[in-house]
Amino acid sequence: MLDVRALVERVGPALLRTVISPESSTVAGDVVIAEPDQPTTATGGDLVMAVGISGCEQAVQLVRDCGERGAAAVLLKPPVPAEAAVVEAAREEGVALVEVRSGTDWAQLVWLVRAALAGGIKPAEESGVGVADLFRLADAVADVVDAPVTIEDAHSQVLAYSARQDLTDPARVSTIMGRKQPDDVLAKFRARGTFRQLTKGSSAIFVPAQQDGTLPRLVMPIRMGGELLGSMWAVVPGPVSEERATAFADTAPLVALQLLRWRAVADVQRRRSAEQVRLLLDGSDGWRAAANELAVPNEAHRVIAIEMPASDEPAEGQRLAMWEWITRGIGRRPLVTEIGSVLYALVPDRARGGGWPELRQALLSHDVSPRPLIAVGTAVAVTDVPRSRAQADELIGLLRTGLVHDTVAVYEELWHLLVLSRMAGAATDAGVATLGPLVALREHDRTQGTEYQATLHAWLRHPGDPRQAGRELRVHPNTFRYRMKRISQLVDLDLDDPDVRSALRVQLLAERWAQHG
């Protein structure tokens, strides 16, 4: 977890300068853009960038709003941060005030700050590759091709981009601000066969202008050892000469090396993060230090458990694909780890910035086959994360039985099935299956191929309604009535006695859950 001063130090004094930094100004949230005359959406620990706010009065109001919402810092361009009223408001509200150097591009600053929060930018004395290196490389490639460039990974996530993006089109602007190519833009390029060429080819691809105003692109796949690591996209005014296209292609090996270094650093960070998340899920010694290192906000969180069903694809490949799926484009990335065959994500319960409602919508809308089992524990304090994890594990067990078909199973929404499951488990342990006339029905079903136990269960679920009971069993109501008559002839059952009905339901539930356990 970074405080504001450390964050400014990481991004660099060429871009940021701390004006006021209270001791409590710890960054625990995401970057939020504040527009003029628009209410801020900041929450606890967020960094608020005052884009387009140049007046003292607006700045004072923004600082006070951020103070009420618990934001960590407000970033403003000069001369506003030096205004006495703004400085006094920040001091009174306990909000850090940071000056953004004149001429700094807001969009690029968003990237750099987010990268610093995620650990992508390190102090000069530390080794490794950071976002700044990729941005410098993008600028170098742009000089070669004489056009604004983006460097993207294999999932069309933008890793870095060059200067001169003001010479592009709305599709490129949306790509940069959204950190990935928008779905509608991706669909247009897919329709033209661009991604099919990227997947199979190794040379630069020219994509002509489109009728909607999208400018031409020169696209270069980035490969290493046959593996597609990503791509470079240059927005060009028209067809490109062979010499320039060749020069653009010649930069690909250098970009590939940088992407490999980037991925290696990201993998180390991910493994470290996974270890810390495991400590939180287990409640093991050191979980408090892990929460601090992961910058887990002091707010309610849920544990999500995801298990891939059996398939021909290697389990490791499935889990890695799921890892990318759950973290793609959902605000700040959820904290994720693997334990055995289950993938766990720890997400805040808030509505925005990578919170549970936002993630739930993504889980419901993402169509994959085979469909994974997804179970979600209740919202708990950070000190109680192991309880939410245990709840998610219990739900995963319920989903494995096949008796629950929810796409995303949420603990508090399935309490009634959990009651029945626990009751059935206790009844099985108590040996209730050997008591009463149900033993005779079970034996008759086994030897004669009848379905009298299922018939009795449907009657208990829909007493006095043979049509509904028959519909559940997929038989005609008259067939259902005949079966019930035969049951009364085979065993002595007083179905008018409520205690008898309750006892039978417990027995039948225990047997049913045991068969699917």
Half-sphere exposure at residue 273, Cβ-oriented, CA atoms within 13 angstroms: 20
Half-sphere exposure at residue 3, Cβ-oriented, CA atoms within 13 angstroms: 10
Q: With contact defined as beta carbons under 8 Å apart, do 68 and 48 qualify?
A: no
Report pLDDT for 160. 86
The answer to whether residue 497 scores a pLDDT higher than 70 is yes
How many Å apart are CA 308 and CA 310, to the nearest integer? Answer: 7
How many Å apart are CA 423 and CA 20, to the nearest integer? Answer: 59
pLDDT tens across 318-366, in order? 665 666 666 655 555 668 888 888 889 898 887 766 678 877 877 777 6
- Which helix (H) or strand (E) segment holds residue 96: the answer is strand 96-100
Report pLDDT for 124. 37
The answer to whether residue 127 scores a pLDDT higher than 50 is no
**pTM (2 decimals)?**
0.56
Q: With contact defined as beta carbons under 8 Å apart, do 372 and 292 qualify?
A: no
pLDDT tens across 50-81, in order? 987 888 999 999 999 998 888 889 999 999 99
| Of 425-434, 465-474, 485-494, minimum mean pLDDT range | 425-434
Taking the chain, what is the end-to-end CA distance rounded to the nearest angstrom?
Answer: 43
- Helical residues (DSSP H) of 299-377, grouped into ranges: 315-327, 356-365
Report pLDDT for 225. 73
Quick one: angle between helices 242-250 and 252-282, nearest 10?
A: 40
Report pLDDT for 318. 61
Split at pLDDT 50, 70, 90, the class of 262 is confident
Report pLDDT for 8. 84
As given in the structure block, the two tokens for residue 139 are: 């600028």
Average per-residue pLDDT in the chain? 83
Report pLDDT for 128. 46
Percent share of the chain, pLDDT over 90: 29
Mean pLDDT, residues 447-471 taken together: 90
The type of residue at 20 is I
The answer to whether residue 371 scores a pLDDT higher than 90 is no
Quick one: angle between helices 498-516 and 415-429, nearest 10?
A: 90
Q: With contact defined as beta carbons under 8 Å apart, do 63 and 97 qualify?
A: yes
Mean pLDDT, residues 133-144 taken together: 86
Split at pLDDT 50, 70, 90, the class of 427 is confident
Report pLDDT for 334. 67
How many Å apart are CA 251 and CA 145, to the nearest integer? Answer: 10
Report pLDDT for 263. 76
């604004």: which residue's tokens? Answer: 148
Mean pLDDT, residues 112-138 taken together: 62
Report pLDDT for 355. 77
Split at pLDDT 50, 70, 90, the class of 122 is very low
Report pLDDT for 125. 38
Mean pLDDT, residues 479-491 taken together: 92
Split at pLDDT 50, 70, 90, the class of 248 is very high
Mean pLDDT, residues 494-516 taken together: 83
**Which of 62 and 311 is assigned the larger pLDDT?**
62
The answer to whether residue 175 scores a pLDDT higher than 90 is no
Q: How many other CB atoms sit within 10 Å of the CB of residue 191?
A: 10
Split at pLDDT 50, 70, 90, the class of 480 is very high
How many Å apart are CA 159 and CA 111, to the nearest integer? Answer: 9
Scored b (16 or more CB within 10 A) or e, 350-374 reads beebbbbebbbeebeeeeeeeebbb
Report pLDDT for 178. 65
Report pLDDT for 368. 63
**Which of 373 and 166 is assigned the larger pLDDT?**
373
- Helical residues (DSSP H) of 201-283, grouped into ranges: 242-250, 252-282
Strand locations in 323-418, DSSP E?
335-339, 342-348, 373-376, 409-410
Mean pLDDT, residues 291-316 taken together: 77
**Which of 96 and 365 is assigned the larger pLDDT?**
96
Report pLDDT for 401. 79
Report pLDDT for 183. 78
